[in-house]
Structure 1
Amino acid sequence: MSAYLPVGIFLALALAIVPLTMVLGRFIRPRRYNAVKAEPYECGIEVKEAPPGKISVHFYLVAVVFLVFDVETIFLLPWAVAFDKLGLFGLIEVFVFLALLIAAYVYAWLKGALRWEE
């Protein structure tokens, strides 16, 4: 039990830092509201017109699909390095992993997440 004491202390401190910094931030932040500070700033150029509109949700969907397949490569690299040591079980595991990712990609494709016409 004493071996886990440093881990417990670290976890308690990590969990205490979040509310502590939030409360501390309320006390030390400036309380003056300035309308100029609320304006968007782009390299010293004054804003002359409103932005053209909202960003399409399709950008976010494509970003999520990209992240899923980016994480896939992170998991496949160690598998490829240790391929000869894993044997048949490791091969079956990676095929199941890839099948799940392909199913997720097909699902996103069928739901129209990758269509730009809409």
Structure 2
Amino acid sequence: MQAILSTYLPVLIFVIISLGIACTMLGTALFSAKQNPYDEKIYPYECGFPAFEDARQIFDVRYYLVGILFIIFDLEMVFLFPWAITLSKIGAFGFFSMLIFLVVLTIGFIYEWCKGALEWD
């Protein structure tokens, strides 16, 4: 039992030091900063102007399609960089695997473009 506790001792020390530093930083900011809340400072805002409609309005489907397309092409970039770096090591199999991946993504992009998902009225 003593051996198990001694292996977790560094983790416990790390947690205690982390909490101490976090509490010290929060306390210092709380006590040293000038607290002067006024109406405009605590007013909720979004995009720099006051809300003019209900926050629970229905968004257009194209908003979500653009978000999904962003995630898809962002993931494509995440896969392309390591592939480009290790291309000399993975050989022809890796090259053609990524080529198939890019062709599938390109077909999906063309499909979305033809459906008009990227056009705003």
TM range (shorter): 0.5 to 0.7
Identity %: 36
TM-score by length of 2: 0.53
Residue matched to 1:51: 54
User: C-alpha distance in 2, partners of 1:107/1:82?
Assistant: 30
Query: What runs of 5+ residues in structure 2 fail to find an aligned partner?
Result: 1-40, 45-49
Residue matched to 2:113: 109
Query: What runs of 5+ residues in structure 1 fail to find an aligned partner?
Result: 1-41
Number of aligned residue pairs: give it: 76
User: C-alpha distance in 1, partners of 2:76/2:87?
Assistant: 16
Pick 1 or 2: higher relative contact order, CA cutoff 8 A, min separation 6.
Answer: 1
1:44 aligned partner, one-letter code: Y
Higher helix proportion: 2
1:19-38, aligned counterparts within 5 Å? Answer: none
User: C-alpha distance in 1, partners of 2:119/2:112?
Assistant: 10
Residue matched to 1:75: 79
TM-score by length of 1: 0.54
Q: What's the C-alpha RMSD, in Å, of the aligned pairs?
A: 2.7
Q: Greater CA radius of gyration, 1 or 2?
A: 2
2:103 aligned partner, one-letter code: A
